[in-house]
A and B are shown apart, each in its own frame.
Chain A
Amino acid sequence: MNENSSVGQKPAVNVSNTERILSAVAAGYLLYSAATGNKARLVKAGSGAFLLYRALSGNCPLYSALGKARKPDPVKNINVRAVVTVNKPKDEVYTFWRNLENIPLFMKHIKSVTTMDDGRSHWEANIPGMSSLLSWDAEIVKEEEGTLLGWNSLPGSVIDNAGKVTFADAGENGTEVSIVITYRAPFGPAGESIARLLNPIFKNMVKEDLRNFRRYFETGEIPTIKGQPSGREETATIL
Chain B
Amino acid sequence: MKALCWNGTRKLNVERVSDPSILNPKDAIIRVALSSVCGSDLHLVNGFIPTMKAGDIIGHEFNGEVVEVGSEVKKLKKGDRVVVGSVIGCGECYHCTHDEWSLCDNSNPNAVYQEKLFGYPTAAIYGYSHLFGGYAGSHAEYIRVAYADNGCFKIPDGISWEQSLFASDALPTGYMAADMAVKPGDIVAVWGAGGVGLMAMKSAWLKGAARVIAIDRFDYRLAYAKQECKAEIINYSEVNVLEELKELTGGRGPDVCIDAVGMEARSSNKLEYAYDKVKQNLRLQPDRAAVLRQAVMACRKGGTVSVVGVYSSLVDSFPMGILMNKALTIKSGQMHAQKYIPHLLDLLQKGELDPEFLLTHKWPLDAGAEGYKMFNDKADGCMRVAFNPSVMA
Mark A residues whose CB is within 8 Å of B.
85, 87, 173-174, 204, 207-208, 211, 214-215, 218-233, 235-239
A87 to B89, CA, bound (A): 14
Pick the 3 closest A-B CB pairs, nearest first: A231-B55, A231-B5, A232-B55
Instruction: Provide the main secondary structure of the chain A interface.
Output: loop
Whether the Cβ atoms of B54 and A231 lie closer than 8 Å is: yes
Q: Assess whether B57 is interfacial by the CB under 8 Å rule.
A: yes
Given contacts A230-B136, A231-B57, A232-B54, contact A239 B21 (CB under 8 A): no
Query: Interface readout for B146-174 with A: 1 if CB under 8 Å, 0 if not?
Result: 11000000000000000000000000000
* Contact in complex: A85, B16 (CB < 8 Å): no
CA distance A51 to B226 in the complex (A): 81
Q: Is the CB of B3 within 8 A of A231?
A: yes
A238-B124 Cα distance, complex, nearest whole Å:
27
Query: Once bound together, how far apart are the Cα atoms of A204 and B106, in whole Å?
Result: 17
Q: Are A223 and B107 in contact (CB under 8 A)?
A: yes
| Stretch of B23-31, B329-337, B385-393 that contacts chain A | B23-31
What distance in Å separates the Cβ of B388 from its nearest Cβ neighbour in chain A?
16
Tell which of A225, A232, A233 touches B135, judged by Cβ atoms closer than 8 Å. Answer: A225
Contacts of A237 in B (CB 8 A): 15-16
B207, CB-defined interface residue at 8 Å = no
Output the least CB separation between B16 and chain A (Å). Answer: 5
A211 to B97, CA, bound (A): 18
Whether B18 contacts A221 by the Cβ 8 Å rule is no
Q: Is there contact, CB below 8 Å, between A220 and B26?
A: yes
Residues of chain B having any CB pair with chain A under 8 Å = 1-3, 5, 7, 13-21, 23-26, 53-57, 72, 90-94, 97, 105-109, 111-112, 124, 133-136, 140, 144, 146-147, 366
A224 touches B109 (CB 8 A): yes
Please measure, in the bound complex, the distance between the C-alpha atom of A222 and the C-alpha atom of B112, giving whole angstroms. Answer: 14
**CB-based contact A223/B57 at 8 Å:** no
A220, B147: Cα distance in complex, Å: 11
A79 to B24 alpha-carbon distance, docked (Å): 34
- In the complex, A225 Cα to B130 Cα: how many Å? 10
Q: Known interface pairs A223-B107, A225-B136, A228-B144. Does A236 touch B2 (Cβ–Cβ under 8 Å)?
A: no
Question: In the complex, what residue of chain A is closest to B22 when comparing beta carbons?
Answer: A227
Q: In the assembly, what is the distance between CA of A236 and CA of B15, in Å?
A: 7
User: A215 to B94, alpha carbons, bound, how many Å?
Assistant: 12
Query: 11 A–B contact pairs at CB < 8 A?
Result: A87-B92, A87-B97, A218-B92, A219-B26, A220-B26, A224-B24, A228-B136, A231-B15, A231-B56, A236-B55, A239-B366
Q: Contact check, A229 vs B25: say whether CB atoms are below 8 A apart.
A: no
A214: B residues at CB distance < 8 A: 93, 105-106
A198-B35 Cα distance, complex, nearest whole Å: 45
Name A211's closest neighbour in chain B (CB-CB).
B111
Distance between Cα atoms of A229 and B19 in the complex (Å): 6
**Contact in complex: B13, A238 (CB < 8 Å):** yes
Within the complex, what minimum Cβ distance (angstroms) separates B143 from chain A?
9
Chain A residues in 8 Å Cβ range of B15: 231, 236-239
